[in-house]
Amino acid sequence: MIEIIPAIDIIDGKCVRLSQGDYGRKKVYNEDPLEVAKEFQDHGIQRLHLVDLDGAVSHHIVNYKVLEKIANHTSLVVDFGGGIKSDEDLKIAFECGAQMVTGGSIAVKEPELFASWIQRYGSDKIILGADVKERKIAINGWTEKSDCDIINFLEDYIAKGVTKVVCTDIDCDGMLEGTSIKLYKEILQHFPSLYLVASGGVSGIADIEALQDAGVPAVVFGKALYEGKISLHDLQMFL
């Protein structure tokens, strides 16, 4: 059964969603992310993908107080990302209650540091964030595109011990027009034992079912929930 992971993206302490990573196309869905997290928990959700969008375009973690509040007032397993740029940021995230941390930009810009985190904390706690635009890895809140191809990027980090990857197709993200299932199938053909978390483009239950049929282990989504394309009740079949 595919693992269901709702996302909460944070700007200025509020629950928001962007379209294709564009900070100029922001929509606020709730002033209180804890309220959203509690609702997820009440419907049987066990894991949360929490993203600090302010941190993603800064040089450090920003919305750690939101993480701390959710971790202290729910039983959700929180995977936190955005703004993890240093040992100090990583320490703050874990001390504030993150049980897993996703690193993307840092894995591109400082591969030795990121590899040291995998060795120090283990591959269950350190998740690789692979944000893709036209097959190339994007960094800094998706504002920059690198020259690194997704398959080569994954191959390098799997050799360094990575076992879990959140892969977001930026062109799909927030568009409610379907996932990049062809890309995910290609990734799993190359790395069949990878715990691949698909992210971006989920428009309804059919997209989740298609990912499950393709053998994708887990899926992150948010906008489809916030826009009413999927209800929390609909997700019961996967829980």
| Structure tokens given for 205 | 């239950």
In whole angstroms, give the CA distance from residue 11 to residue 30: 11
What contacts 42, CB < 8 A, 6 or more positions away?
none
Q: Do strands 3-11 and 47-52 pair parallel, antiparallel, or not at all (unpaired)?
A: parallel
Closest to 225 measured CA to CA, from 11, 31, 8: 8
- The DSSP result for 95-114, as a single string, is HTT-SEEEESHHHHH-HHHH
Does residue 173 carry a catalytic annotation?
Answer: no
Q: Which pLDDT score is estimated for 56? A: 87
- What three-state secondary structure class fits 238? helix
**Residue 141 pLDDT exceeds 90:** no
**What integer is the mean pLDDT of 119-130?**
97
User: Which residue ranges make up each domain of the chain?
Assistant: 3-238
Residue-level pLDDT at 170: 86
Spatial neighbors of 184 by CB under 8 A, at least 6 apart, are: 167, 196, 198, 211, 214, 216
Predicted confidence band of residue 166 (pLDDT cuts 50, 70, 90): very high
d(CA 6, CA 204): 13
Instruction: Cite the beta strand spans of the chain per DSSP E.
Output: 3-11, 14-19, 22-30, 47-52, 77-81, 100-103, 126-133, 136-139, 144-149, 164-169, 195-199, 218-221
What pLDDT band is residue 121 in, cutting at 50, 70 and 90?
very high
Which one from 9, 52, 54, 173 is the annotated catalytic residue? Answer: 9
- Please check whether residue 31 is in contact with residue 14, taking contact to mean a CB–CB distance below 8 angstroms: yes
pLDDT value at position 44? 97
Pick the catalytic residue from 131, 169, 173, 207: 131
In terms of average pLDDT, the best of 4-13, 130-139, 144-153 is 4-13
CA-based angle 212:214:220, to the nearest 5? 50
Q: Mind listing the pLDDT tens digit for each residue in 177-198?
A: 899 999 999 999 999 999 999 9
pLDDT digits (tens, 9 = 90+) for 77-118: 999 999 999 999 999 999 999 999 999 989 999 999 999 999
- pLDDT tens figures, 14-27: 999 888 878 888 89
Residue 182: burial class (beta carbons within 10 Å; 0-12, 13-18, 19+): exposed
| Mean pLDDT to the nearest integer, 121-126 | 97
Taking all residues of the chain, what is their mean pLDDT, rounded to a whole number? 94
Contact 135, 149 (CB under 8 A): yes
For 125-136, the pLDDT digits (tens) are: 999 999 999 899
> Which residues 6+ apart lie within 8 Å of 87 measured at CB?
113
Give the H/E segment covering residue 40.
Answer: helix 33-42
Q: How far is CA 226 from the centre of its chain?
A: 16
**Residue 143: pLDDT band by 50, 70, 90 thresholds?**
low
CA 39, CA 232: separation in Å to the nearest integer? 9
User: 207-230, pLDDT tens digit by residue?
Assistant: 999 999 999 999 999 999 999 999
User: 130, 167 in Cβ contact below 8 A?
Assistant: yes
Quote the CA–CA distance of 151 and 123 in Å, as a whole number.
19
Is 32 a known active-site residue? no
pLDDT of residue 142: 65
Q: In this structure, which topology does domain 3-238 adopt according to CATH?
A: TIM Barrel (3.20.20)
